Amino acid sequence: MKIVTEPMDYTLLRRRVYRCRELFPFAGFSAVGRSWNGRALFALRLGEPTDAVLMLGGFDGRDDLTPRLLLNFFEKLCRRYAEDAALADIRIRSLLADRGVTILPCVNPDGLAQKQTGNAHGVNLAENFKPHWAERRRLTQDDETLFAGSVPESEPETRALLGACRRGDFRHMLVLGRGDNTVSAYAPDSPHQTAQLMQKVFCAVGGLTAQPPCFSPGRFCGAAEQFEAEFGRPAFCWGLNEADGAAAAREEALILSCLM
């Protein structure tokens, strides 16, 4: 399968998911929920589902980079798995013999389809989670692109994602979005050093710069904050810039996230 580099929209995303389902019957494909306009929040799975890493992209509908990156990554994983071959010097079938990866390439399919930040209800999904919700709503009330919703978890996309987290027992979460090639760690108290070590690995391998969790309007991700608070496990936010040509390094960092 050719790796696609053209701009992503929902039609292309859905076509590629269906194509993967045909080519890789050993992988798992489902929809964890539906958007306001009935579009699927696709979940792609490979390996052992009971000890999996969760990777998310496409919170902002204008971001076609992270859905494309995650789909490309999943396709490469599946090909190497089928061939019993290595990716970044790690044999994928052995790696996923007792652990797994679940990828939601686009959390905001309506936004992607309409090329807008928020979902079809005008809500910025990154702001629609419980942690700091009242504060976030006050901070963002003058910018309609940052509208946090009428109440926390008001949106079907938010509820679908949290439902998947509550059913999935994921050991950590990666949220990918556009940014300046940074990684932030949301670390619970007990495994704090583990999260910091993982952050250092992501920086060293993926060419990223460590930064503390960002609470600035437009750069906050409540999904990572709530995952850490609710489940007591690390979550990481990657802010990526596709202009630097570091796709291979990012893929290697993603593979290592499955190993750690």
> 177 in helix, strand or coil?
strand
Residue 184 has pLDDT above 60, yes or no: yes
Residue 16 has pLDDT above 90, yes or no: yes
User: What is the tally of structural domains in the chain?
Assistant: 1
Is 111 within a domain? yes
| pLDDT value of position 258 | 87
Is 5 within a domain? no
pLDDT confidence tier of residue 189, bands split at 50, 70 and 90: low
Tens of pLDDT, residues 22-42: 999 999 999 999 999 999 999
Is 1 within a domain? no
The mean pLDDT of the chain is 88
**Short-list 67, 63, 76, CA closest to 1:** 76
| pLDDT value of position 249 | 87
* Residue 157 neighbours by CB distance under 10 Å: 28
Is 245 within a domain? yes
CA distances from 248 to 79, 205, 206, 244, 245 (A): 16, 10, 8, 11, 8
Residue 2 has pLDDT above 50, yes or no: no
Residue 48 has pLDDT above 90, yes or no: no
Give residue 207's domain range: 10-259
**Short-list 42, 55, 47, CA closest to 90:** 47
Is 3 within a domain? no
The residue that leads in pLDDT, 132 or 13, is 13
Which of 6-15, 65-74, 141-150, 167-176 has the weakest average pLDDT?
A: 141-150
Tokens representing 136 are 């976030």
Tokens representing 105 are 């390439």
Residue 243 has pLDDT above 90, yes or no: no
Q: What is the distance between the alpha carbons of residues 15 and 13, in angstroms, rounded to a whole number?
A: 5
Q: In percent, how much of the chain has pLDDT > 90?
A: 59
Residue 6 has pLDDT above 80, yes or no: no
CATH code assigned at 104: 3.40.630.10
Is 177 within a domain? yes
Phi, psi (5° rounding) for residue 226?
A: -70, -35
Tokens representing 167 are 């059913």
Residue 136 has pLDDT above 60, yes or no: yes
Is 2 within a domain? no
Which residue type, as a one-letter code, is found at position 52? A
Which residue type, as a one-letter code, is found at position 29? F
Residue 191 has pLDDT above 60, yes or no: no
pLDDT confidence tier of residue 244, bands split at 50, 70 and 90: low
| pLDDT value of position 83 | 95
Torsion 245-254-43-28 (CA) sign: positive
| pLDDT value of position 14 | 95
Average pLDDT over residues 5-19: 88
The residue that leads in pLDDT, 147 or 25, is 25
Q: How many helices (H) and strands (E) does the chain have?
A: 9, 10
Scored b (16 or more CB within 10 A) or e, 179-218 reads bebbbbbbbbeeeeebbeebbebbbebbbbeebebeeebe
Residue 1 has pLDDT above 60, yes or no: no
Which residue type, as a one-letter code, is found at position 38? G
Is 140 within a domain? yes
Q: What is the distance between the alpha carbons of residues 173 and 106, in angstroms, rounded to a whole number?
A: 15
Residue 218 has pLDDT above 80, yes or no: no
Contact between 51 and 102 under an 8 Å Cβ cutoff? The reply is no
**Short-list 113, 224, 223, 102, CA closest to 157:** 223
Contact between 210 and 199 under an 8 Å Cβ cutoff? The reply is yes
* Residue 248 neighbours by CB distance under 10 Å: 12
